[in-house]
Structure 1
Amino acid sequence: MRWDELFGDLSAQWDAEVRRELDAEVADRTRRERAALGLYERLGAAGDARVGLGLRTGTTLSGRVADVGDGWVLLTGEAGRMALVPFGGLAAVTGLSGRTGGSAMGRSFGFGYALRGLSRDRAVVTVTDHSGAGVTGTIDGVGRDVLDLSEHAADLPRRPENLTGRRLVPFEAVVVVSAT
């Protein structure tokens, strides 16, 4: 009878040790998988959640992640207003769940390529830099690390007589490019 209890106790100890090892293995794998994920994957998994983007200017944008790409996120805010934010313009992101996989969202092209699309469409935008200053105009061209902006009022078309200035804005200085 004692031997039955002894072997029963040994079996329980064995099962407990196997369970501890399995738990440790699962925890280790989870940490390794999470370490391989970045902002791109986390934002891509946002789904329909409302998120807050804390910008380096100290302001916050809120809305839903419409798209995410290599170094940028496109946010749909109030009244469908769109904002293109380079990752370098972010100070924090709030409202993301712990979910990290299963995203159908995500583009492989970078911030410059997204800006070229806005330039091609002749969209009137406001470019906000790290100081918090915003300049409105049309993106005339996009280089490797800089955009060329023709400044004009948001309600006027980009014509020579409406231009108030031209400026080059390095990508590193851009915090957000928003629709006007």
Structure 2
Amino acid sequence: MGKNFHGARTEVFWDVTDFPIRTTDRSYLETLRSVIGNYGYTGPLRLRAYGEKKPDNLGDGITFELIGEKFARLNKMLLDIGLWELDTTHLSLTLTNVLVIAENIDEDTSFVSVSRNLKSHARNCLWVLPDDYEDEKIYRVKLPSANFIWKWQDLLDGNEPMSKDKVSSMRCKTPCDRLG
């Protein structure tokens, strides 16, 4: 019998510059809560956002890091994920979801290895990729390790995550994932 992560806390790391929400009728927090709630993730939600400019409709109670340069945002996000992972290691029996929404994660960053470290028996890893990931990025970027992977618009539209077959097919197309 599998573990039920639906009522578990969800920790979100989100690059809001690369993954903006275009409408302003709801906050980022409300939108994300609604979207992941459609998949049954109804537990407490903690959001850390990173961007060039703080969106007016971000929402209350969100940690926001104002960082203009893309590589600096990714590095700060990596640092925060690593510190969060260290802080929660002692809670290894507590079921937790971790959702990472970040674009253009080239193989020379540490996101892929961090994603492998995040997966555990008590941690459900959810990853969001840019809509053009397969078409433009598949030959130079490794796929992160995750329990579920969405493309951005699919997540916002309420579509299912990519199937395991689709993810496997994408991994076969990624030259740097063929080894090991």
Give the structure-2-normalised TM-score.
0.26
Higher-Rg structure is 1
Q: When you count strand as a share of all residues, which structure comes out higher?
A: 1
Q: When the two structures are superposed, what TM-score results if normalisation uses the length of structure 1?
A: 0.26
Q: Whose RCO is larger (CA < 8 A, sep 6+)?
A: 2
